[in-house]
Amino acid sequence: MKKYKYLLTLLFWLIPISQSFAIEALKLQKVADNVYAIVGELGNRTPENLGNNATFGLVVTSEGAVLIDSGGTYKGAKEIHHLIKSVTDKPITTVINTGGQDHRWLGNGYFKDQGAKLIASKKAVEDQKARTQDQFIMLGNLVGDEGIKGTDAVYAEKTFDDKLVFELGGVKFEISHTGQAHTPGDSFVWLPQQKVMFTGDIVYTQRMLGVGSQSNSKSWINVYISMAAYKPKHIVPGHGQATDLASADADTYDYLIFLRESVSAFIESGGDITEIGSVDQSKFSHLLNYKNLAGRNAQQVFTELEWE
């Protein structure tokens, strides 16, 4: 009898925890009136976070809501929508994909089913198409078959070259693609009235950014400068909590400059790529994922610098 009671108590605690787990992985952060950051985990994709290991943006207007980035999977998109419903019952009329990374666009199918219009830069859609298969393989490994169930490659139907401006319910949106950054088609979304900047993968805070084969660290710095020129009051980064420009500078811009300067100096001193691990990046060891990414970033920048 005692055992039975214990089991019941255990069940009572376990059931609600498992049901709300994926939802709790996302946190809503108010940035300005009707403007929110939806902050996902800072680590890698897992079956629990459904590929939502990133930060997304939400703007609620009188004529509907605009979502910046649709999440990493169909089920992940549903979790984002669930959280959005806690602040508005307005339909999501528009989804902007700020880049080609999986968590920027693989939730598109879910939101298109809800009637949303999808917008992305031409370069982002090209990049998504080129890497769809790789991204599905990677998500299958990290999130698992159950987690990616329902996810399809759904591309934005409305695309632009370098700038798209629109208004919804009196709120102005300016989307700009100024070059390759973390991915070839990265864009930032500016709200001129609220002075809020959604940066997608152009800005990482709290965690170390990743320079991959789809990135260009030199161009990334220029893209960052073009974004910072708007003097945003609030930054909603692609990874990390909403913050200000100073902390975006510290965690993204300063690191990119430091990384390129350090690897340059390493090459000039005759360093060989096999010893790239000796480049000292401990100045940025406070950033999450430092151990996994610092060496890889240096290696990627080494390869880039060889071709510049």
Residues that bind Zn ion (CB under 5 A): 54, 101, 201, 238
The nearest distance, CB 175 to Zn ion, in angstroms, is 17
Our CA angle for 158, 162, 163, nearest 5°, is 70
Burial class of residue 260 in the structure, from the number of CB atoms within 10 Å of its CB (0-12 exposed, 13-18 middle, 19+ buried) = buried
The nearest distance, CB 115 to Zn ion, in angstroms, is 26
The nearest distance, CB 99 to Zn ion, in angstroms, is 7
DSSP string, 79-107: HHHHHHTTT--S-EEEEEE-SSSHHHHTT
| Comparison of 56 and 160: residue with beta carbon closer to Zn ion | 56
Which residue has its beta carbon closest to Zn ion?
A: 201
| Comparison of 189 and 276: residue with beta carbon closer to Zn ion | 189
Cα separation, 252 vs 182, whole angstroms: 11
Cα separation, 197 vs 191, whole angstroms: 6
The nearest distance, CB 281 to Zn ion, in angstroms, is 20
| Comparison of 191 and 202: residue with beta carbon closer to Zn ion | 202
Question: HEC profile for 159-215?
Answer: EECCEEEEEECCEEEEEECCCCCCCCCCCEEEECCCCEEEEEEEEECCECCCCCCCC
Cα separation, 14 vs 11, whole angstroms: 5
| Comparison of 60 and 294: residue with beta carbon closer to Zn ion | 294
| Comparison of 60 and 125: residue with beta carbon closer to Zn ion | 125
| Comparison of 64 and 72: residue with beta carbon closer to Zn ion | 72
Burial class of residue 29 in the structure, from the number of CB atoms within 10 Å of its CB (0-12 exposed, 13-18 middle, 19+ buried) = middle
The nearest distance, CB 62 to Zn ion, in angstroms, is 31
Tell which residue, 105, 109, 110, 135, has the closest CA to residue 121: 105
Cα separation, 236 vs 30, whole angstroms: 10
| Comparison of 53 and 93: residue with beta carbon closer to Zn ion | 53
The nearest distance, CB 280 to Zn ion, in angstroms, is 26
The torsion angles phi and psi of 54, rounded to 5 degrees, stand at -160, 175
| Comparison of 179 and 240: residue with beta carbon closer to Zn ion | 240
Tokens 């709300």, residue located: 20
The nearest distance, CB 4 to Zn ion, in angstroms, is 48
The nearest distance, CB 75 to Zn ion, in angstroms, is 18
201 contacts 101 by C-beta, under 8 angstroms:
yes
Cα separation, 283 vs 266, whole angstroms: 16
